[in-house]
Structure 1
Amino acid sequence: MKIAVLGTGGGARAHIAKLAELGHEVAVGTRDPQATLARTEPDMMGNPPFKQFLADHPGIELHTFGDAAATSDGLVINGIDGHNAVTALSAIADQLAGKTLIDYAVPYIYKPDIERPWPTPWGVNPILDPCDSDSLGEQIQRALPRTDVVKAFVTQEQATVVAPKAIGDGDHTMFIAGADAEAKQQVTGLLRAYGWTDVLDLGPLITARGMEMYAHMHGAIGMALGFGTHFGIKVVR
């Protein structure tokens, strides 16, 4: 299958590598391919330059967001940062029409100037915008009425999404939400290929609000366990 991954950060790289390992043709999208390839310093999360990643993964092609989405025959993964996702995706609405878009972005606002900040070992914790009365997933769906948006992957580090058995032998839960049953089935199929055995459909896309807000809880657990510790969440029935 031809799958597009939009973004070049650590999460996107996890999906790119895993999809290629599974035998899919992967097209990667970025805002400016030449600028991305020209970078020689690690990104804000410490990932090495993307040019190095491409050298280690022959056969992966780098395109603009629109050109990458156009190559997909039905499935696109959104790894664009939450603050810029709606604008970037709206600009390629035609290339995304008729396709399933998996959105795992969190609508973080970094370095917020707020009255009661949440201090963390790496600075002030980001805040969520939107929150409660809307979600980034819903905003993306409204911006892309011809695309089936499925919120998924967002409650785990992406390295764990593509390798669930690395935590508790895979005995934890992945959540998905969206309006279209066929699109959610397509996403569930990809999760099964990744190794997930417990996929819980939360229903309509409005439940993306809960998934996105969970990001703060996930961060709190991570800080309690020790920064860099990967873990899973399981719904016990």
Structure 2
Amino acid sequence: MKVAVLGTGGGARAHAARLVELGHEVFTGTRDVRATLARTEPDMMGNVPYGQWLADHPGVTLLPFADAAAASDGLVINGIDGHNARAALASIADRLAGKTLIDYAVPYVYQYETEHPWPTPWGVMPKLDPCDTDSLAERIQRALPDTKVVKSFVTQEQTTVVDPAAVGGGDHTMFVAGDHADAKQQADELLRSYGWSDILDLGPLVCARGMEMYAHMHSAIGFGLGHRFGGAFGIKVVR
């Protein structure tokens, strides 16, 4: 299958590398290919420059967002940062029409003022916007009415999403939500190819609100386990 992974951060890299291992043809998307390849310093999370990473992954092709989405034959993974995702995806809506978009972005806002900041090992915890009465996934779906949006992956570090067996032998739970049964089935099949066996369908896309808001709890658990960022752990719905 030809799969597009939009974004060049650590999560997008994890998906691209795993998809190549599984035999897929992978096209990664970025805003500006030349600028992305010109970077010589690690990113804010300490990932090596993308050009260096790309040289070590010959099965991945880097393209502008629109071209990467167009190259997909039906499945696109959104790894664009939450603050910019909706606008970036809306600008290429025609290239995403008729396709399944699995979104794992968190709608974090990093620059804001609050009376009661949450200090973390790396700074102040960002806030979520939207929150409670809307979600980023729903906003993306409204901006892309001809695309089938599924929310998933967001309750885990992406390195764990693509390798669930790395935590507890894989005995933990992944969630999906969306308004299109066939798109959720595609997400389910991808997750099973990654190694997931416990996949819980939460229902319609409105349930993305709960998944996105869980991001703060994910961070809190990570801090409790002594991790600076997230960390390798899983959550299990016992039923």
Same-fold status (TM-score > 0.5): yes
Q: Which residue of 2 aligns with 1:76?
A: 76
- Superposed CA RMSD in Å reads 0.6
Aligned position for 2:66: 66
Question: CA separation in 2, counterparts of 1:10 and 1:126?
Answer: 19
1:125 CA drift (Å):
0.3
Return the letter of the residue paired with 2:12: A
Counterpart residue type for residue 233 of structure 2:
F
TM-score by length of 1: 0.99
1:200 alignment counterpart: 200
In the alignment, is residue 39 of structure 1 matched against residue 39 of structure 2?
Answer: yes
The corresponding residue for 2:3 is: 3
Is the counterpart of residue 236 in structure 1 residue 199 in structure 2? no
CA contact (8 A) 1:26 1:60 kept: yes
Amino acid at match of 1:233: I
Aligned residue pairs, count: 237
Question: Aligned partners of 1:91 and 1:102: how far apart in 2?
Answer: 17
How far the C-alpha of 1:112 sits from its partner, in A, is 2.4
Q: Which residue identity does 1:190 align to in structure 2?
A: L
| 2:29 partner amino acid | G
**Aligned partner of residue 48 in structure 2, secondary structure:** coil
| Aligned-partner SS, 1:5 | strand
The structure 1 segments of at least 4 consecutive aligned residues displaced by more than 2 Å after TM superposition are none
The unaligned stretches of length 5 or more in structure 2 are none
* 2:217 equivalent in structure 1: 217
Q: CA deviation at 1:113?
A: 1.0
Tell me the secondary structure at the aligned position of residue 117 of structure 1.
coil
Aligned to 2:140: 140
The runs of 5 or more residues in structure 1 that have no matched partner are none
- Counterparts of 1:158 and 1:134 in 2: how far apart (Å)? 23
Do 1:112 and 1:124's aligned partners in 2 also have CA atoms closer than 8 Å? Answer: no
- Distance between the aligned counterparts of 1:55 and 1:85, measured in 2? 26
1:236 alignment partner AA: V
SS in 2 for 1:209: helix
Shift, 1:98, TM fit: 0.1
| Within-5 A mapping of 1:93-108 | 93-108=93-108
Do the aligned partners of 1:14 and 1:158 also contact (CA within 8 Å) in 2? Answer: yes
